[in-house]
Structure 1
Amino acid sequence: MGSFKIRTDLALEARENAEEEAESLSGVSVEEVYHEDSEVRITKVSITSKNSARALGKPMGTYITLEAPAMTQQDENYHQEISGELSMQLRGIIPELEKESSILVVGLGNRDVTADALGPNVVDNLTVTRHMVKEFGKAAYGKERMHVTSALIPGVMAKTGMESAEIIKGVVEKTKPDAVIVIDALAARSIRRLNRTVQISDAGIHPGSGVGNNRNVITRESLGVPVIAIGVPTVVDAATIVNDAFAKLSGGEGREWMRMQDFPEGFSELYNMYVTGKDVDYEIKQISHIICDAIEGALDMQA
């Protein structure tokens, strides 16, 4: 059978998996900062050429990854620190936030599948303002300047019969937001990044790509407005876990083992299985609050 191939939605991991090739590509730059006070590592991967995009398997754009190992712990103060870091990064990547804008927040995923329910959970907690401002003006919130927010949970095609991208495009054409923020669950190649990592990107999103369930893209080109994607890896490919185990048993690194050998016979069924943590239900709820607070903080013109 063919060689084993890593599946990941994280540009940081794609860059790690192709590190040697990426170093020789002029279209990839990496910046890394570690904040000791909040224990958050922020890595910015910029993909600026078509060749580097092909090499990494990611569209051109900016990908900011926040790694917070303690994000799943029950510490409200620490969650506020992570939310603050995330909010600051969002302010830097959402265009023209100095002007009053209309922002559509979209929660992708299936709320009936816990590991895929991040997007709907974030939107459930979000304070939307568009309807109030349209009815009563900004005075309803006691503000002279503010961003207007609306929200959408498009569901999944198995329930609606429509692509999420089709639903979102229809809403965008009708309500004409200045930007769209899309939240989705992602797939990672590393267990240690499950529910402990947040990726922000201005390259839009390809729903289901990490789990081999490709859907129509949601990007600036497809919608006609800037699209900011926020994602958290909630699942890992089972085949990746087995691959890493074999690599450790053989005394080599995972990438080296994959390059030298084909995936073992008899394990092919693992390639369509995904693993998540046993506490994923609690962690999804917790992370959804962190992301919701970060979005609202980023869009607060008084902050």
Structure 2
Amino acid sequence: MEGQFRVRTDLALEARECFEEDTELRGVEIEESYDEERDIRVTRVRITTENGAKAMGKPMGTYLTLEAPRLSEPDEDYHREVSVKLAEYLRKLLHTEEERSILVVGLGNREVTPDALGPEAVGNLLITRHVIREYGRAAFKAEQVHRVSGLVPGVMAQTGMETLEIVRGVAQETKPDVIVVIDALAARSTRRLNRTIQLSDAGIQPGSGVGNHRNSLSRETLGVPVVAIGVPTVVDAATIVYDATGDREKIAPNLHGMFVTPKDIDETVKSLSFTISEALNLAMEGRT
């Protein structure tokens, strides 16, 4: 990274871009592919060693980034295509070839629009656990039905509790096979705002994008695999100034705590949350 200016981003792809292209990072592997028909670029970043994790500032694991330039547009057909593509990767991460118990957690504050992605997405999910417990699989007329439950734990300012405490308590009671967490992220580049979806099997640290670090939600802290889904909805104002001037001395101190989001974020979050929930619903469809 240039000088001592610290780029704030939750995207593993952008963390890697902070280094020169010809810089070899041991323990970090990158694969890229492009779906020309859907105009979706997929980048897979694998962090395989502790040294790689330290260099990237991310936990070890696999980070899959889908860049879809038209994702911020109100094009339902295109959003459907992104959902289908996303569902393909989710099936692999969730191992849906077997019947699973899946807890989906929507992180964030529903009252703050750029942070409402998780709660909104959970609100659109097909929840099945309670129906299966009451009536069995026959209620869905399918041979295989995943037991899906949802949780919106809120934020500490609303509950007085760490998100980890709430999720761990629910997980201990319901015993899911895997936990999916959905959260809004911070990007380093404005061109990736609301146009990028990151999947990861390394879990997530709620609030990290805005510098409000909380305890991580991961296999280590929850005892079961954790799959994280995130979309960058904000960018650090200091980063925008730095990109425009190239001079960190011109960045006012107060800008380091300020985040910028597009003016149409209300409609965009609604659309993105539905795209993610639709992908999850597709990935967890019962087999007839």
TM-score by length of 2: 0.96
Structure 1 position 302, deviation (Å): 2.7
Structure-to-structure mapping, 1:47-126, within 5 angstroms: 47-94=47-94, 96-126=95-125
Structure 1 position 18, deviation (Å): 2.1
Counterpart of 1:292?
277
- Of 247, 252, 258, which aligns to 1:267? 252
| Cα gap change, 1:88 to 1:196, in 2 (>3 Å) | same
Does the CA-based 8 Å contact 1:18-1:56 persist in structure 2?
no
CA distance in 1, matches of 2:145, 2:220: 27
Does the CA-based 8 Å contact 2:242-2:251 persist in structure 1?
no
Could you tell me the percent identity over the aligned residues? 58
Counterpart of 1:242?
241
CA distance in 1, matches of 2:243, 2:155: 32
Alignment pair present for 1:143 and 2:129: no
Instruction: Indicate the SS of the match to 1:110.
Output: coil
Counterpart of 1:251?
none
Does the CA-based 8 Å contact 2:143-2:287 persist in structure 1?
no
Counterpart of 1:7?
8
CA distance in 1, matches of 2:198, 2:274: 16
Instruction: Indicate the SS of the match to 2:102.
Output: strand
Q: For each residue in 1:252-273, what CA deviation from the matched residue of structure 2 results, as whole angstroms up to 9, or x when unmatched?
A: xxxxx6xxxxx31661110000
CA distance in 1, matches of 2:228, 2:43: 16
Does the CA-based 8 Å contact 1:48-1:61 persist in structure 2?
yes
Instruction: Indicate the SS of the match to 1:269.
Output: helix
CA distance in 1, matches of 2:38, 2:251: 44
CA distance in 2, matches of 1:194, 1:26: 29
Structure 1 position 111, deviation (Å): 0.3
Structure 1 position 93, deviation (Å): 1.8
TM-score by length of 1: 0.92
CA distance in 1, matches of 2:251, 2:78: 44
Structure 1 position 146, deviation (Å): 1.3
- Amino acid corresponding to residue 18 of structure 2 in structure 1: N
Structure 1: which 5+ residue stretches go unaligned? Answer: 248-256, 258-262
Does the CA-based 8 Å contact 1:103-1:178 persist in structure 2?
yes
| Cα gap change, 1:56 to 1:266, in 2 (>3 Å) | closer
Does the CA-based 8 Å contact 2:26-2:51 persist in structure 1?
no
CA distance in 2, matches of 1:277, 1:207: 22
Alignment pair present for 1:197 and 2:196: yes
- Amino acid corresponding to residue 168 of structure 2 in structure 1: K
CA distance in 1, matches of 2:188, 2:251: 21
Counterpart of 1:279?
264
Counterpart of 2:18?
17
CA distance in 2, matches of 1:105, 1:204: 13
CA distance in 1, matches of 2:101, 2:250: 53
Structure 1 position 26, deviation (Å): 2.6
Instruction: Indicate the SS of the match to 1:71.
Output: helix
Structure 1 position 227, deviation (Å): 0.1
Q: For each residue in 1:206-251, what CA deviation from the matched residue of structure 2 results, as whole angstroms up to 9, or x when unmatched?
A: 111121100011000100000000000000000000000003xxxx
State the aligned residue count.
286
Does the CA-based 8 Å contact 2:118-2:183 persist in structure 1?
yes
CA distance in 2, matches of 1:74, 1:218: 32
Instruction: Indicate the SS of the match to 1:30.
Output: strand
